[in-house]
Chain A
Amino acid sequence: MAKKSVWSDNRFWQRSAAWVTGFASILLIWLTFDTSVQIAMGTDADLQNGVTKRVPGPTVINYKITYEMSTARGHEVPVIGEKELFFGRDDYSEEEAGALLHLGKLGSQTKNCMNCHTLLGNGAYYAPDLTKAWLDPAWGPEGSMQAMTGKETKEEAMAEFLQHPSTYPTHARMMPNLGITAEEAKGLVAFLKHMSSIDTNGFPRNFGKIKGAVHGK
């Protein structure tokens, strides 16, 4: 009988499978520690001292956020600028802002935004991506939504829309009324504003930069 080759030996492959799996798992766990530190939420002190965090603290709602091309990184990054009023205030404490964000994040789950929209690109494809919704031109001074909802500011217009979405339709495919209260809407807008400040490595690309280039128009 010919000598049995190691390549056709089940024990050999069983051990290889165990080693490969163990090695990959350990590497993943190690990377998870590193990533967890990098995506932990920043603090109010970080914001005041200009420390850039991938996920800024909740008090980022006190500041103006823009999405600008970074030549060093070759794509757009969120930039946190000077103070900006949010529902008439720019002095939310860490606790107040944290409570708003908490309410908004809870609302985003209990109202099931993710089964129509994508958040950070994950979710459903029935409605626009919300990653940078806070920065969408439609909500800005040049957009139509403030006039449509009869509100003076972006955050009030968004909150009004979220409470009565099917009252302000812009397309045949409408967002339904989800029973969102005024307080919940405020939390959700804080949640959306916070999300727009997360460093997503340049996703989405060219957000809001190109206007009206479709069909040669």
Chain B
Amino acid sequence: MASNHLTGIGSESKQLATWYFTFAIILFGAQLLFGLVAAIQYVMPGFLFELLDFSVARMIHINALVVWMVFAMFGSVYWLLPDETGIETVGIKIGKLLYWVFVAAIVVVVLVYLIVQVGPADEMSIWFIHEGREYIEAPRWADWGIVVVALGFVANLFMTGIKGKQTGIVTVLMADMLAFAGLYLAGMFFTDNISVDQYWWWWVIHLWVEATWEVFVGALAAYALITIIGAKRQVVEMWLWIEVAMLFGSGILGMGHHYFWIGTPEYWWEIGALFSALEPLPLVAMFIHVLYDWGKETGLQMAEGAEGHAIAGHTITNKPAFTWIVLNAFGNFLGAGIWGFFHTLPQVNLYTHGTQFTSAHGHLAFFGAYATILIGMMYLAIQGTNGIKVLKHTKSSIAGIWMIAGGVMGMGIALTIAGYVQVLVSRAQMGATWAGYFDGQSGMWFSQAMDWRLIMGVVTFLGFAFLIKDFLSTGKNPVHER
């Protein structure tokens, strides 16, 4: 199973991947900065009031989040495609052009968010400022730009998959990316009916994060297990198909857990509860899969020496990448699986719906399921572009991992406590009125939790600084085996 993942050099597809990763990590930094602004406003409400209000900071925080992940996902595909298919990506020149179109569009969108912020209540604002719909606020003109870029990306993937070797991983990616791009269309219309609005809005948000993106992560993890620890493709791809069946089987109808209270009929209570309660199962399976393969390959290595592995004496050829991928397996299970299950039954969700508890889950899930593995992919690209055989940890890579993962976990715990107060005081006791809302917000446990969230956010940001330092310096570090 000779793989050329060690030599990114000379592949245009891999070069484009590094461009995608670079812009992604810049946006990740922007995401954290604007998250900090929003978190400070919880603690000091006067901070940047009527200059850069919470709504603007939050919009940039979550848009940067979605966009950096999409960038890193595109980058990951361009990175692994030559390895999987055995050929250079077809249409790479157009891919590179579209990259610049995408970057330019994002920069313009963010500048308009920052400078114009809000517009009059008319269609022009929707077309040129923002749509005001959480996560997919991008103005309509940018929506069409995104559609064009995504179509170009999907076309490159399909042409390469058909021309080259079509492995199981590539097949899954082709189907998955088509669905991923297609779903975006469900979020591109305006309606006066807010129930209809939110019904379709969830088609984008839920069917992305709990269906198509999860399958994407399954495919990335499969690729990573094969390249980093030399797991057997036949077995890994079988697992991948089982994961696809479980993820789509539970995730598609699991969407019902967002249809409990938005005006939609009662039958979604049962459908949402049943299918979304099954959603954690594939996440447990994926966690076990990674640990199992790791143990198995280590055992083989010890029993047979170097046989079957690329490099003597190492089961793991990229330590930081593998650490992030194990964190992904665990974080996906914890943030999406456990925290998701907590509030997915309608009896519970009636009270937790739209509280800090949702935010706790949102942070742990997005971080655990996606940020982790995408950072892992970036480490694979660093290894490849620098021609490194075994990439080892450095002080910065370890500090980055501990502080980012610890910081996000700390924020998750703080938000969970805040959510608990809000559920008890604002919802159960006070029945969700304006006054009830602020009774919950002013409680001691709540306000201390907000302090801790901010502190843990700063820890996360410092961890990010270590990560960047490592990204910039580790390629030249002499500790690695070349």
- A contacts, CB < 8 Å to B: 8-10, 13-14, 16-17, 20-21, 24-25, 27-28, 31-32, 34-36, 38-41, 54-55, 58, 98, 101-116, 118-129, 132-133, 136-138, 166, 170-174, 176-179, 181, 184, 187-188, 195, 198-210, 213-214
Contact = CB atoms under 8 A, between A and B. Distances in A.
A133 B255 contact: no
B198 A110 contact: no
A31 B192 CA distance: 22
B438 interface: yes
Most buried by B among A8, A17, A105, A209: A17
Contact of A106 (B42, B123, B351, B353): B123
A205 B348 CA distance: 12
A185 to B, nearest CB: 10
Interface in B200-245: 201, 234, 237-238, 241-242, 244-245
27 contacts: A10-B238, A13-B245, A14-B171, A17-B241, A21-B244, A24-B252, A31-B267, A39-B195, A98-B192, A101-B192, A109-B126, A110-B121, A111-B132, A112-B56, A115-B132, A120-B194, A121-B261, A121-B354, A122-B258, A126-B38, A128-B434, A138-B433, A138-B435, A179-B118, A205-B427, A206-B428, A214-B425
A201 to B, nearest CB: 6
Given A179-B118, A184-B120, A201 B434 contact: no
A132 B199 CA distance: 19
Contacts of B41: 126
Interface stretch (B297-305, B355-363, B464-472): B355-363
B49 A200 contact: no
B54 interface: yes
A40 B50 contact: no
Contacts of A27: 253
Nearest to B255: A28
A212 B354 CA distance: 22
B263 A54 contact: yes
B196 A39 contact: yes
Nearest to A37: B265
B134 A205 contact: no
Nearest to B242: A13
A214 B430 contact: yes
Interface string B314-350: 0000000000000000000000000000000000001
A17 B123 contact: no
B63 to A, nearest CB: 10
Contacts of B452: none
A177 B266 CA distance: 38
Contact of B54 (A98, A115, A188): A115
Interface centre among A14, A54, A121, by most chain B C-beta atoms within 10 angstroms, is A121
B439 interface: yes
B59 A129 contact: no
B434 A124 contact: no
Contacts of B355: 125
A146 B307 CA distance: 80
A18 to B, nearest CB: 9
Contacts of B432: 128-129, 132, 204-207
A136 B261 contact: no
A198 B195 contact: yes
Contact of A205 (B45, B266, B351, B358): B351
Interface string B236-275: 0110011011001100110100111111111111010000
Given A24-B249, A120-B198, A112 B354 contact: no
B162 to A, nearest CB: 17
Contact of A126 (B42, B168, B192): B42
